[in-house]
Structure 1
C-alpha cells in the first residue's frame, strides 16, 4: 500500500508539501497541487480522512436537515432531487452526507444536536426555511456553517432559492394564456410554507392585474369546494396536486399547473403544466455556497414546461 512518502517521492516534493497539497493548502501552488494529485492517483494513494477528522476535531460530513414530517405524510421528490445535486457536488470535496429528520420539532432538533455534538458536523444544509425555528436558531447560536434552501428568516443567513413569487406570476400567466382559462383555484398545503406564500403572492398579483378574483384552498381543508366555480388548478407543488385531485376527483380533468417536475409524478400526470425549479441545480449551488463563505446567497432560475 502506498504511503504519503511514496507520493512525495513520485512528485519530487517533500512529505510536508505533499500532505499540504492533498489537503488543498492555499500556500501550495496550483501546479504543485496538480502534480501531487497525479502522483497520488498513479500510486493509488488515498488520504486518510478519518485520521484527518480526528486531528482537526471536525468531520467530513455535511448534515442535511429535512423539514418536520409527520409519519405517513407524502415523501416529497423535490428533496430527493436536492440530495442528488448535493451528492454530486460533495464528491470532489471528499465529504459525505448525513440526514437529520423528525416527526416533531423537538425530535428534529435532537437529531441535529447529535450530528453536531457527537459526530463533529460543522457544515449543514437546511432543506426548508421558517422565520422562527428552534433548529435554525440552534445552528446560529453554535456559529455553524449552514445554508438554507429558501428565503431565510433572519438577515445574514446564507441561502439558495428561486424567485418563487415570479414563478407564481409567470406560471399563472402562462396557464391562463395557453389553456384559455380565467378562474384558476390555487391549492396549497396546510402548513403554508414560505415558498408557497411567495408562489401564492405571484398568483394573486397576476389575478389582480386582470381584475379577477383570486381564490385558494388548503389540500386538507374541510370546506366543500365547488368545482363548477373554477376552470383550472394551480398547485403549490406536485405532491399537493396529486393529493388534492385524489380527494377531489371532480377537479382531475381541469387544466392545471403545479410546481416541481419530478420524473415519477411527470409520468403520472403528463398533461399538467409544470414549473421546474431544477432542484439538482439548487442542491449543487447550496454546496458551492457552503464552501464559499464569502458569498451570501444565490438564486437559481426556474423553467416552465407546457
Structure 2
C-alpha cells in the first residue's frame, strides 16, 4: 500500500497541510521543519503523485525550454549546456521537471511550443534567445502564457521577465582589451545578426573602435553560418587574412566559433597569438581546452539559466509579481590567445569628441 501525505503527517506529528507546504517549498514553513518532514518522507518511501497534482492543482510541475537553434546544433555548443545546467539545478531544488524542444527547423521548434501550450504539457516556458521576426515570444504573449527570455527583449519589455548580460558593454570591454594592447587592425566575427545578442556585441565592438578613432569597414565584420560552421569559418579566415591590412586582433562572439577560427588559422600556418590575437565569449570548457587557451568574456551562462528558471517559477507561484529584468555581470578571463604588440604603458587614449 502506498504511503500518503496523511501517513507522513502522522509520523512527523504535523498537519497534512504542513506536509503539502513542505512539498511545495513554501516560505511559511521553517527550514528545520522542512528538513525533518523531508527526512521522514524519505524514510517512509513517500513519492509525490504527479498525476494527482496535475488534476488537483492544474499544474504539470514542468518547465518548457525553447532552444535557440535545432537541438542538434544547440547541444554541440557547450554554452547552452551550461545554461541548461543552471536551469536544471534551479528546477531540481524547486521540484520541477524539464521539457525541451527537439525541432530541427525554426517552424518545427515553433510547433513544439504550440504543442506545449495547447496540450498543457508545461506550466511555463524559458526561451533561450531573443530574435528578430521570431514567432515564439509573440505567441506566448498573445496566449498570456508565463515565460522568461534569456536575452534582451525586442518588444514588450514591460510585459515579461528577461535575463541577460549587458552585451554592448561586454563587447566594448573586449574590444578595448585588444586596443589597449596596441591592436588597431580589428576584425569581428559573430553569429546571425537576426539575434539580438550578436547585434549588441557588434554595437559594442564598433563603439570601442570609434572611441579610439579606429575605422571599421564592412570587410572586417563577418558572420559564421551555423549550418556550415567549419567550411564557413575557413572562408572567413581566408578572406580576412587576405585583406591588404589583415586584422591583428579578432573579437569572436562565441568560444565555439572561436575554436573554429583558430583551427582555420592553424591550417593557414597563422599563429595565435603571434600573428593574430583572439578574444572570445562565454568562458566554456572550449576556451580552456583550446590551443592556446582562449582569452574570453565570461558571460556566466550557468547563472543566466539559474536566474531564468528561478524567475519563471516565482512568476508561476505569484502571477501578479512585477516582470523584472535581470542583468548578469561579465568579466574578462585572461589566458594565452592575446599578445601585446606595443608596450602596455602606451595605451591609446579615447578621442574626446567620440560619441
TM-score by length of 1: 0.88
SS at match of 1:291: helix
How many angstroms apart in 2 are the aligned matches of 1:269 and 1:277? Answer: 21
Alignment match, 2:141: 140
The 3 A distance-change label for structure 1 pair 58 and 207 is same
What displacement does 1:114 show?
Answer: 1.8
Contact 2:167 2:197 in 1 (8 A): yes
Contact 1:131 1:152 in 2 (8 A): no
1:159 pairs, out of 162, 168, 173, with: 162
How many angstroms apart in 2 are the aligned matches of 1:197 and 1:140? Answer: 24
1:187 pairs, out of 189, 197, 215, with: 189
What displacement does 1:143 show?
Answer: 1.2
What displacement does 1:141 show?
Answer: 1.6
Q: What do residues 42-63 of structure 1 show as CA deviations (whole Å, max 9, x unaligned)?
A: 4342322232123223211111
What displacement does 1:36 show?
Answer: 3.6
Alignment match, 1:110: 111
In structure 2, list runs of 5 or more residues that go unmatched.
Answer: 226-231, 316-320, 335-355
In structure 1, list runs of 5 or more residues that go unmatched.
Answer: none
Contact 2:67 2:74 in 1 (8 A): no
Per chain length, whose mean CA-contact separation is higher, i.e. which structure has more relative contact order (CA < 8 Å, sep 6+)? 2
How many angstroms apart in 1 are the aligned matches of 2:118 and 2:271? Answer: 48
Alignment match, 2:256: 239
1:125-274 equivalences under 5 Å are 125-154=126-155, 155=157, 156-177=159-180, 179-214=181-216, 215-219=220-224, 224-225=239-240, 226-227=242-243, 228-247=245-264, 249-250=267-268, 253=272, 254-274=276-296
How many angstroms apart in 2 are the aligned matches of 1:192 and 1:263? Answer: 26
What displacement does 1:37 show?
Answer: 3.6
What displacement does 1:33 show?
Answer: 5.2
Contact 2:280 2:295 in 1 (8 A): yes
1:3-42 equivalences under 5 Å are 3-24=4-25, 29-30=29-30, 34=34, 35-42=36-43
